[in-house]
A and B are shown apart, each in its own frame.
Chain A
């Protein structure tokens, strides 16, 4: 009796917390982020129904079959029933798996033409970004030329290169962006909550990551793969600007 009440009330509390959440996802600022939220919404509904049904059945059985001197039934199985719930869960679970592929494919398997390319370099415990500059070509780099203090973390060889190197990621709204993620030392992780994208940055690899932000603003980038004692301080930001504003920003960077 007490146990039935405990299970039922805790399960109800869980459902209520999700119906009226005080903390939730941040604003979605891209088409992908909105598709993401829709898929999450569907998934939460499915698991919410399954959760309530399973906990409800459990609490009900605990209440209904408490010891009142009855004789326990001799049932030890029911093939038809077992077949039904196995098929129903299989369809629901695999359905979710298939329905969820779209948002993954949009980020990792489909590209937009002519994206703005930005190179991202992670190291213990800072982020740097490199743009190709007016010539549209990334200049050659080498280890010898790396000079963090001198503002050349990528190791651009040509001192007169028109490449632009920054500490914040600036992009124009409404244009596809392709990041090329690289790490210099250990594994880091690039995460923008508002874009609903997250990708490990692995030394020895160049990993592409695509997005198209739509809403201007400044969004935090917290490193999300344990990278050492400064992991929690390895922050950067994504600055989404209007197209004209972005062009002006680029020119200002070049004149430096």
Chain B
């Protein structure tokens, strides 16, 4: 299947500051790709290159086979975009915004009424100046303007920011419907559950570089195991010698550890030698898996330095090589 979004060695620098470096990524038609990374990782820079607001320092961007800058007028009618920090004209009403942006889009807006209804933007809301809107209402308006013309490609930067849980449910339904209708969705976020919920694949960026592209299911399988050990009352924590690489945290007599799945069996054998009264093993949350990716990517970077590599770097670092999909 042809890639709808194709980034090849995309690099954007601001003077000496790196926005994004050598990013290779492809998104296929009908796919919902999560683009994950902490603030400052280069997510918004990448997206702005994809919609033609920024010109790449090097590399190429193709969306629907078109260059976002050279083919701007041909590409943009087919794209719906929600910026990460949505800024609106405070004195204009919601309805005026939707009319204005719809007119500029140059396409009919067949979904406007339906989207307003589903996202609970009433006629009364739309008649008020947006300076009176809450953050969540502005975000809902942003979603409507991005989707009202039923675009082929939807690019959303932190879309659920400020949305209440009920509206978030509607948002996930909209994304799912878009995917089923063959639309391609590129969803940037720093909130892992959001990506887990909406996407099949996730690309993780850190410090301007692609860390990995993984299926969400694979990321879930690879996540660490959380081990909880309970010690008898009065037991001295200082006598429990566990490795710092397992991120030990004490809560009363309970010790919590995060252990990589490849090491869980030998780790448990060692831990059972301790005077524990209870032991539980469970899958860590996806958030923790996400953080582990960063930790081990950092460890990988350190391992390239002339010193001993940190624990756990190898199995995770193999996936963490930039450009790997």
Say if A and B assemble together.
no
Interface residues of A (CB under 8 A from B): none
Interface residues of B (CB under 8 A from A): none
